[in-house]
Amino acid sequence: MRKIGIFGGTFDPVHNAHIAVAKAARRALGLDFVIMMTGGNPPHKRENKILDAKLRHIMLKLAVRGEPELVACDWEVKRPQYSYTVNTLKFFSKLYPEGKIYFIIGGDSLEALDTWYMPEQICSLCTIAVYKRNNLHGVIEPIRKKYNADIVEIDGEFLDISSTALRADYDLMMKHTPPAVGEFIKKYGLYRDHGSDMEVLTRLLKPQRLRHSIGVAKLAAELADIYGADRDTAWRSGMLHDIAKNIDYETSLVMCGELEAELDPVERTIPALVHPKLGAELIKCLFGLTEGEITSAVRWHTVGRQGMMLLDKIIFVADMCEEGRSFPGVEDIRKAAHENLDRAALMCINSTIEYNLSSANPVHPGAYAVREWLLKNL
C-alpha cells in the first residue's frame, strides 16, 4: 500500500526545519513521498498580510529541489476558495484510493485541532503524524478519544524556528532558509519594506537596463503631461516596464508557468518577447498591484496590441525613443512623440518590423495587426 505524507503550510517562507520535518516523517513512517502543500489563503490567517502565494510556492519548489521524496504542490494555491485541510484530504484520498494518507502537523497545530474546520472528518480521512515543537504531554490522548483519531508521533529534535520569527529577523531568515530560497528572497527583495521600486530594480536590472528604465520613465511622464495621462502612473510604468528583462530565458519560462503569465506560441520561442508578460505578473506579486493601467502598459510595451489604451501607447513609444536610444530615425520618432502619439506609435512599430526583417529575426504576427489598427485610427 502506498503511504503518502501531506505537509501543508503557509511556508512564508519555507525554512530548514520544514524540510527536516518532512524528511524525518518520510523516514520514520516509511512514506513513499511527502507532498508539501503551499497554503493559498489559510482561513486562520485571513487578517494577516502574507506574501503572495505564487512567490511562496516558487520558494518551496526551490527548497525541495534535489529532494526526490519531497514534492512541492500548489493544489491549494490554484483553488479559488479558501483552503481548508479537510478539502485537501478529501481530494488526495480520492486521488490515492488505495493509499494511506499521513497528515503531518506540529504539536501546536494539533493542540488547536478543535478550531479547525470539520476536525472529525479530518481525523477520519488520515493518520495524523505529529512532530514535537513543544511538550505534547496531555495533548494527544484527549484528541485521540474525542475524534477517534489515529495519531502517530514523529520523533526527532527539530530546530525551534518559525517563519514568523524569521520574518522579524532578516539575518536569521538568511541563516535558516535553504540557500536557493535565501537567494530568491534577496534577489526579489522579499520580506523587506519595498520603500521604492528603485530598490528592487537596482537588484534585478543591470545598470544599463536601469538607466534605460529611468529614461523611459522620464519620457513617459513628459508624454503623460502632453496627452493628459496621470504623470505618476506613467513614471511608475516606465520604471517597471523592463523589470523581468534581465531574468535569463530558462528561468523566465519557469516563472511564467508559476506566475501564470500566458505566453503565446511565438512569444515562447523568442526570448526577447517573454519579459513583458512575465513583468506584468511579477509586479502584481512583488508590489501587490492589481490588474490595471500599469500592468497593461508593462504587458504590451514590446509588441503592442490592438486597442491600446493611452498609457499603453505612452510606454510603447517611450520605450523606443527615450533619451538613451540611438538608431537611425530615432530623432524623428522623438519629435513625433511630442506631436501625435498615434503617429509616433506607428513609426515605432514600423521601425521594429523593419529592424527584425533586416536582421532576419522573427516578427511577432501581432505587430502587423497592431500596425493595421494604428493605420486605421490615424
- Point out which residues bind Fe ion (CB under 5 A): 242, 319
Least Å from the CB of residue 349 to Fe ion:
14
b/e code 303-319 from CB counts within 10 Å (16+ = b): bbeeebebbbbbbbbbb
Which CB atom, from 159 or from 198, has the smaller least distance to Fe ion?
A: 198
Distance CA 186, CA 182 (A): 6
DSSP state at residue 45? G
Task: Report DSSP letters for 74-137, one per residue.
Answer: -HHHH-SS---HHHHHHHHHHHSTTSEEEEEEEHHHHHTGGGSSSHHHHHHH-EEEEE-SS--T
203 φ/ψ sector (left φ>0, alpha ψ -120 to 50, else beta)? alpha
Which CB atom, from 6 or from 286, has the smaller least distance to Fe ion?
A: 286
Task: Report DSSP letters for 319-375, one per residue.
Answer: HHHSTT--STTHHHHHHHHHH-HHHHHHHHHHHHHHHHHHTT----HHHHHHHHHHH
Termini Cα distance of the chain: 69
Going along 107-230, which residue ranges are E strands?
A: 127-131, 150-154
Which CB atom, from 19 or from 239, has the smaller least distance to Fe ion?
A: 239
The answer to whether 89 touches 54, Cβ cutoff 8 Å, is no
Which CB atom, from 12 or from 319, has the smaller least distance to Fe ion?
A: 319
Least Å from the CB of residue 238 to Fe ion:
9
Least Å from the CB of residue 28 to Fe ion:
51
Which CB atom, from 176 or from 277, has the smaller least distance to Fe ion?
A: 277
Least Å from the CB of residue 147 to Fe ion:
56
The answer to whether 238 touches 219, Cβ cutoff 8 Å, is yes
Least Å from the CB of residue 315 to Fe ion:
9
Least Å from the CB of residue 333 to Fe ion:
14
Least Å from the CB of residue 254 to Fe ion:
19
Distance CA 366, CA 263 (A): 13
Q: Which helix (H) or strand (E) holds 278?
A: helix 275-287
Least Å from the CB of residue 299 to Fe ion:
11
Distances (CA, A) of 317 to 141, 144, 321: 69, 67, 6
Which CB atom, from 128 or from 320, has the smaller least distance to Fe ion?
A: 320
Which CB atom, from 16 or from 246, has the smaller least distance to Fe ion?
A: 246
Which CB atom, from 222 or from 319, has the smaller least distance to Fe ion?
A: 319
